[in-house]
Amino acid sequence: MVVSTISPSPVLTQDDLKKLAAYKAVDYVESGMVLGLGTGSTAYYAVNRIGELLKQGKLNNIIGIPTSKRTEEQALSLGIPLSDLDTHPVLDLAIDGADEVDAYLNLVKGRGGSLLREKMVEGACRKFVVIVDESKMVKSLGGSGLAMPVEVVPFCWNFTATRLQNLFREAGCVVKLRVADGGGKPYLTDNANYIVDLYFKGDIGDLKVASDEITRLAGVVEHGMFIDMATTVIIAGECGVTVKNK
Ligand code: 5RP
């Protein structure tokens, strides 16, 4: 793993750090690329920057593949030409945020709800650059006690949630249905599915084993562990921007 650190910075807000990481990632973008456009408050800055460079004529012939309806709307408002995986099954580069990043560049994604499209798009990229502020760096995925999202079909979601909880009983896993903002209704993904969030007290154990076990459960559509997918992680912190490559 190659690690490089760039210039220290003065006191910055978390939003400043997100922007810093996003702008650094956009340095990897070249004219003519097919780009995966991520979702979330960090990816938002990257998409905005790409739109800005297109407008200034500093980038040309970019095609974006959005990872959510939200990002699609943002990209369209910026005049970024869009396409899809059916037309462009191989992408040059994707840029996206993450909820957690471990030392091996494995990720938790999906607290923003877009994990399925993100995994499809980012799994089809030659290079996947993840942009985070330093608060997202963790010792072990799921170990911070925050949500590990799993997208499930609405049909008997409670049955699926119980099976997920039983799978990780030893890790003290509690599963909760995600609800939409401002109401008791379930949160609906762009694919009209539900999300259940897994909260762990103990260690998840081997991530690949956990990933396979979750994926094998009927009723599960996709989960938020992105194992061995990121090729580069850009981390913005008080001491500057660090780039970690696989
Ligand atoms: C959305 C995601 C986001 O990339 C993740 O939640 C990070 O978001 P933010 O940059 O807002 O912290 O996975 O599904």
**Tokens of residue 133, six digits:** 């502020």
Question: Residue 111 C-alpha to ligand 1 middle, in angstroms?
Answer: 6
Query: Is the CB of 100 inside a 6 Å radius of any atom of ligand 1?
Result: no
Cite the active site residues: 118
The H-assigned helical ranges of the chain are 14-26, 41-55, 69-77, 115-122, 157-167, 207-216
Block residue for tokens 């957690």: 100
Q: What are phi and psi of 27, to 5 degrees?
A: -60, -25
Query: Is the CB of 118 inside a 6 Å radius of any atom of ligand 1?
Result: yes
Residue 190: how many CB atoms within 10 A of its CB? 18
State the average pLDDT for the chain: 95
Mean pLDDT for 154-175 is: 96
Atom of ligand 1 nearest to the CA of 41: 11
The H-assigned helical ranges of 56-188 are 69-77, 115-122, 157-167
Question: Residue 21 C-alpha to ligand 1 middle, in angstroms?
Answer: 13
Mean pLDDT for 10-22 is: 93
pLDDT for residue 202: 84
pLDDT for residue 10: 63
Confidence of residue 5 (pLDDT cuts 50, 70, 90): low
How deeply is 233 buried, as exposed, middle or buried, from its count of CB atoms within 10 A (0-12, 13-18, 19+)? buried
Residue 62 · residue 81 · CB < 8 Å: yes
Q: What is the pLDDT of residues 49-98, one digit of tens each?
A: 999 999 999 999 999 999 999 999 999 999 999 999 999 999 999 999 99
- Closest by CA to 67, choosing from 225, 232, 189, 151, is 189
Block residue for tokens 């959510």: 68
Q: pTM for this structure?
A: 0.94
Confidence of residue 103 (pLDDT cuts 50, 70, 90): very high
ipTM of predicted complex: 0.98
pLDDT for residue 180: 95
Identify the residue whose C-alpha is closest to ligand 1 atom 8: 40
Query: Is the CB of 245 inside a 6 Å radius of any atom of ligand 1?
Result: no
Confidence of residue 11 (pLDDT cuts 50, 70, 90): confident
